Amino acid sequence: MPDLTDPTRATNPALKRRLFVGLSAAVATLAGPATALAADALEFGKPHPPIVPEDDPDIAVSRPPLQSSSGRTIESYAAAPKNAPATTPGVVVVMGAFGVDNQLRDTVRRFAKVGYRTIAPNLYSGLDAPSGDNTDNFEPFRPLLGKLADDTVDADLAAGSSYLRAAQGGGARKLGVTGFCMGGSITLRQAVDHPELYQAAAVWYGKVRYGTTGNLGAITPIALAYADEIKTPLLGSWGERDTSILGDDVRALDRRLADLRKPHDLKIYASAGHGFFDDIRSSYDPFAADDAWKRTLAWFDRYLH
């Protein structure tokens, strides 16, 4: 079952709200100089116009229904580069607690803008979920998280990966998976359970302790035993000021993966708390978000091309 941590209350209050204007250098990294110029006036850390709008001429946006092996049809949000060749790699984006909200949809388009076929399955399909757009109210989503069974979530994500492979039309089919908060924990599970689907994984502040409900005390070996089974090259990004996922837990996972000689790159950002990539909410940290985005793109470039 996904972690029930409130993403809006999982950061040390010492991390002050930051609003930044004119982050053109950072935006240039994520989607090219033209987008940087368009984003110069955006104010991050609160709701703002998209970084990559839906009508961007370089991408095509769609909302394909997906037939999951769980026996249900689910909603999704997808974007791809215009006139993408069959060998274009893909990325499955795993939503966080607020669902496929406007920030996650923008992230899907950002991946498309830099050359990936991308899809975000709506794991809340059929659960009558409210919109997560521009809200910090986690309470309506709390009961929904308890309804997300692992096998159903995995089947829904597999439906997204099947869509991307079909869209590619054969040839070299390489897929990455990435997710945020709850989606980060789910992404970590994909790296263990579904190496046949994904050639690279990028976790954003996902839960590290397996089978535990809290984070008191030192992490025990059994809570990291899953690391022995990780077969997918794993990149991860966390915040030191995150009160829901301890930096020491991440460091323990890093040591375990190093001992096992698993391909990995885990980083903890001293300035950041939970949700630091979420640029429409006050948890946003521009330095951590920019660096982690660069690392994610470099990781996918390494393993998906």
Rounded Cα distance between 150 and 2, Å, is: 8
DSSP 110-151: HHHHTT-EEEEE-TTTTS-PPP-TT----GGGHHHHTT--HH
Query: Which of 106, 154, 156, 181 is the catalytic position?
Result: 181
Candidates 3, 48, 106, 274; catalytic one: 274
264 catalytic residue (yes or no) = no
Which region holds residue 294: left if phi is over 0, alpha if psi is between -120 and 50, else beta?
alpha
- Burial of residue 26, with CB atoms counted within 10 A of its CB: 0-12 exposed, 13-18 middle, 19 or more buried: buried
Q: What span, in angstroms and rounded, lies between the C-alpha atoms of 149 and 144?
A: 11
Cα separation of 141 and 137, whole Å? 8
Please answer whether residues 211 and 222 qualify as being in contact, where contact means their C-beta atoms are separated by less than 8 angstroms. yes
Tell me, yes or no, if 58 is annotated catalytic. Answer: no
Distance CA(252)–CA(80), nearest Å, equals: 37
State the catalytic residue, choosing from 242, 249, 254, 285.
242
By CB atoms closer than 10 A (0-12, 13-18, 19+), residue 91 is: buried
Q: How is residue 162 written in tokens?
A: 């099947």
Asked about 274 being catalytic, the answer comes back as yes
Which positions are annotated as active-site residues?
181, 242, 274
